[in-house]
Structure 1
Amino acid sequence: MTRVTQRPSSGEDSPAGGSRASDRVRHRTVQAGGLEVPILEAGSGPLVVFLHGFPDHAASWAGILDRVAREGYWAVAPAQRGYWPGGAAPDGSYRIASTGQDVLALIEALGRERADLVGHDFGAAAAYAAASLDPRRVRKLVTIAAPHGRQLMNAWVTDGDQQRRSWYMFFFQSALAEAAVERDDFAFVDRLWREWSPGYEQPDAERAALKETLGAPGVLTEILGYYRQLFTPPADEATRALEARAFGAITVPSLYLHGADDNCFSVKVSDGMDDLFTNGFERVVIPGAGHFPHLEQPQTVADHIVGFLNS
């Protein structure tokens, strides 16, 4: 089922949680998966884990964390492996299955048996993997701006439009990538945000905080590993078997959100993904939003998340 939402009547979307949201969001580290993982958290109650993508970081969830916490949940946003100094993958892996295992390890480290998952971009991939690897640990799944299923790989091979949109992935395979991304205070990253979310201007303070994350010692090379391992087949049988499970069917109730103006992944790439969801699936297309709808229209996205979790 696909639904197109209406744009906010005012033409704007106010920040989820308001200006005091950051005051209610706590910071700490949790030992999980062999790493001391920095997390943001708010509230108490049933656990909801929020997973960020690229080029982004956990802080982008702050307003929505606060909103979800005020609805009676414990909202937690971890840094993904590689996104902080000392956070390099212990096993060197930035494969999707590994990030899914990180999610499951975090749920256990937080003392819970189950959690709801909300993931954007590579965070969505991690959420799909976690739900596929161990659906007993996932109650509900919300993913944003990154489809699940073979149609995405097919688009990279056969769809010239998606190949154009994904040019950066192919460029990241080269040795030039680090120097190009860092040049002129991460102007490369500014360009991606402009292209992917036309009409959205990231606030200066948030842009500076993101660049501080990306510019920390050793971080950029580690997170480029997500892309450099994306198109490389697993080297051993055990990893191949794990990856096959991680890309499998989703057996938990699921909601998928995609911005109509997303210039990173075309909306049409998510056509047909409901075939892989066996326990309820809804796709919502958000008009006027690009690749970062949780920042472009945070109230709308928070409403969808809370409504789905409460349903």
Structure 2
Amino acid sequence: MLPSVVLLMTWVLRVISVGMAAYDAGVVAGEIPESRRPAVTEHGVRIADQDIAFTTSAGSGRPVVFVHGNSSSARVWRPLLTGAFGERFRCLALDLPGHGRSAPTARSNVYSMPGYAEILTGFIDEVSAQEAVIVGWSLGGHIAIEAAPSLPGAAGFVVFGTPPVASAEHLAQAFLPNPAVNIGFTAQVDPEAALSYARSFLAPGSPLQLDELVADILATDGAARAGLAAGIGTGRFSDEVAIVTRLTQPIAVLHGADEQLVNLDYLRGLTMPTLWRDAVQVIPGAGHAPHLETPQQFADILTEFISDLD
């Protein structure tokens, strides 16, 4: 074969290889054009007299239930649902009451850790996902832990941005000092405050666009933030440290290496007998939101965790 032909074929193969790698990363990161992404479907269901919206992926494997954070919505999970992960697993991402497409509530007890946990357990029953892996981000992780004793069939839990605390007195140890945290407990939030809050989710200097994060913060029912603050301030949540200590299912605890809100040393000091791989999994290049900042690595970790369950 002529040298020029060999060089040409080598170049073509390299272009194809790079293109496929970019395609795979783009699918996970949600960068593929809409027409080429796996389909997601939006639904609604009524749980405890609340209208709850949720989104499902095209996959039919083990169910994975995603719980978003404070002043967020189910769309933060879109990179997973529209990528290879969503094609493989039956992903279900709900909007908490007063968030995303779910209706706000006039019942103040719903906007609390026990209230959200009741919604989560009711949702899991309603969609027949009792054997799901529960993935919770930030507040969503706290809700997952709160609900864990009522979810004996759950295959496992994955939490991140979520330091389990025994009481309100432990919050100062569990979280890093960051003034943006207060915004998540303030009823009225203006665009400037929403932008500051959104920035605290990411690693410093992250190039990730903040538009959707800010929009979700501004769209959230302000009573949800105020209600959560009141509940936490009066100790209306379970002893999460005791729950993770007694947990029988595996729990993966993830942490962005450039996290601005959660104290890694605090996490590492907790006793969690079923902790996956016996260590907190630190994700390089990510802050409080590794599912958005490093979606491929995040999806890989979730896949490995689920594979270890089988």
| Shorter-chain TM-score above 0.5 | yes
Q: TM-score, normalised by structure 1?
A: 0.77
DSSP-derived class of the 2:177 partner: helix
- Tell me which amino acid in the other structure corresponds to 1:300: Q
Q: 1:16 aligns to what?
A: 28
Residues 301, 188 of structure 1: alpha-carbon distance in 2 compared, 3 angstrom cutoff: same
Residues 1:187 and 2:155 aligned together: no
CA–CA separation in structure 2 for the residues paired with 1:223 and 1:232: 14
Q: How many angstroms does 1:155 deviate by? A: 4.8
- Tell me which amino acid in the other structure corresponds to 1:25: V
Larger radius of gyration: 2
CA–CA separation in structure 1 for the residues paired with 2:65 and 2:143: 11
- Tell me which amino acid in the other structure corresponds to 2:152: R
Identical aligned pairs, as a percentage?
Answer: 22
Q: 1:203 aligns to what?
A: 209
CA–CA separation in structure 1 for the residues paired with 2:283 and 2:293: 10
Q: 2:41 aligns to what?
A: 26
- Tell me which amino acid in the other structure corresponds to 1:75: C
Are the aligned partners of 1:149 and 1:276 in contact in 2 as well (CA < 8 Å)? no
What are structure 1's unaligned runs of at least 5 residues? 1-9, 235-239
Are the aligned partners of 1:39 and 1:76 in contact in 2 as well (CA < 8 Å)? yes
Are the aligned partners of 2:40 and 2:81 in contact in 1 as well (CA < 8 Å)? yes
Residues 15, 45 of structure 1: alpha-carbon distance in 2 compared, 3 angstrom cutoff: closer
Q: 1:3 aligns to what?
A: none
- Tell me which amino acid in the other structure corresponds to 2:65: V
Q: 1:221 aligns to what?
A: 223
Residues 201, 189 of structure 1: alpha-carbon distance in 2 compared, 3 angstrom cutoff: farther
Q: TM-score, normalised by structure 2?
A: 0.77
DSSP-derived class of the 2:93 partner: strand
Q: 1:129 aligns to what?
A: 146
Where do residues 1-311 of structure 1 align in structure 2 (5 Å cutoff)?
14=26, 16=28, 18=30, 19-20=32-33, 24-43=39-58, 44-67=60-83, 68-71=85-88, 73-83=89-99, 84=101, 86-88=103-105, 90=107, 92-131=109-148, 133-150=149-166, 153-156=169-172, 159=173, 162=175, 164-165=177-178, 167-170=179-182, 177-179=186-188, 181-182=189-190, 186-197=191-202, 198-203=204-209, 206-207=212-213, 210-211=214-215, 213-216=216-219, 219-234=221-236, 243-244=238-239, 248=243, 249-273=246-270, 275-278=271-274, 280=276, 281-311=278-308
Residues 151, 298 of structure 1: alpha-carbon distance in 2 compared, 3 angstrom cutoff: farther
Q: How many angstroms does 1:112 deviate by? A: 3.4
Q: How many angstroms does 1:95 deviate by? A: 2.4
Are the aligned partners of 1:50 and 1:78 in contact in 2 as well (CA < 8 Å)? yes
Q: How many angstroms does 1:107 deviate by? A: 0.9
Q: How many angstroms does 1:202 deviate by? A: 3.5
C-alpha distance after superposition, 1:77-104 (max 9, x if no partner): 0001221563326453322222222211
Are the aligned partners of 1:39 and 1:78 in contact in 2 as well (CA < 8 Å)? yes
Are the aligned partners of 1:96 and 1:246 in contact in 2 as well (CA < 8 Å)? no
CA–CA separation in structure 1 for the residues paired with 2:171 and 2:212: 32
Structure number with greater CO (CA < 8 Å, separation at least 6) is 1
Residues 215, 154 of structure 1: alpha-carbon distance in 2 compared, 3 angstrom cutoff: closer
